């Protein structure tokens, strides 16, 4: 069984994330969508809220597991028998960040590979931070995120 970890803050999860997930499911039998807690980032949603939104958004997708960690994704992958970390790329700036992250992960454990999926054009501009900005400005985000995210924003309002 080919297993991968798709780590991210997912604060909140977007349709761009789901696009990458669906493409990863064509390559891997199982993908653990991992909410990675970054203590240096101020999150809009709690870990529990993010996990809840993701579980609802991925309900019915075969081969998806949702979990969270406050440790390193590469260590989590090793502990859970995954051989790859899945990442999405939207722009050149993403590549620079991911290239550096890949080198760090390889230093920690060279047996864990990074697999990258390019965003489709229609989701390439979506980021979790832009979703928050749009929502706070009264813009309808329902075409950019799963319904569970819209519901959670309304719950927080």
> Is residue 41 among the annotated active site residues?
yes
Q: Distance (Å, rounded) from C-alpha 92 to C-alpha 106?
A: 21
Q: Distance (Å, rounded) from C-alpha 149 to C-alpha 44?
A: 12
> Is residue 151 among the annotated active site residues?
no
Nearest to 21 by CA among 11, 37, 32, 12: 32
Measuring CA to CA, how many Å separate 88 from each of 1, 46, 91, 133, 157? 22, 23, 10, 21, 30
Point out the catalytic residue in the list 55, 78, 90, 151: 90
Point out the catalytic residue in the list 9, 102, 128, 148: 128
Q: Where are the beta strands (DSSP E) in 2-138?
A: 3-8, 30-36, 64-69, 84-89, 113-118
Point out the catalytic residue in the list 9, 17, 73, 119: 17
Question: Would you mind telling me the total number of residues written for the chain in this entry?
Answer: 157
> Is residue 80 among the annotated active site residues?
no
- State the Cα torsion 83-11-145-157 to the nearest 10°: 160
> Is residue 17 among the annotated active site residues?
yes
Point out the catalytic residue in the list 41, 59, 120, 156: 41
Catalytic residues, by residue number, are: 17, 41, 90, 128
């Amino acid at each position: 069984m080919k297993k991968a970890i798709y780590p991210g803050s997912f604060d909140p999860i977007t349709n761009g994330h789901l696009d990458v997930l669906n493409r990863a499911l064509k390559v891997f039998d199982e993908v653990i969508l991992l909410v990675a807690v970054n203590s240096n980032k101020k999150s809009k949603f709690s870990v529990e809220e993010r996990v809840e939104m993701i579980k609802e958004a991925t309900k019915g997708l075969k081969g998806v597991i949702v979990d969270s960690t406050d440790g390193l994704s590469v260590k989590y992958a090793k502990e859970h028998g995954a051989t790859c970390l899945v990442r999405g790329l939207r722009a050149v700036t993403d590549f620079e960040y991911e290239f550096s992250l890949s080198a760090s992960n390889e230093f920690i454990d060279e047996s864990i590979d990074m697999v990258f999926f390019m965003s489709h054009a229609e989701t390439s501009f979506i980021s979790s931070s832009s979703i928050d900005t749009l929502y706070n400005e009264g813009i309808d985000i329902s075409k950019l995120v799963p319904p569970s995210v819209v519901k959670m924003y309304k719950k927080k309002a």
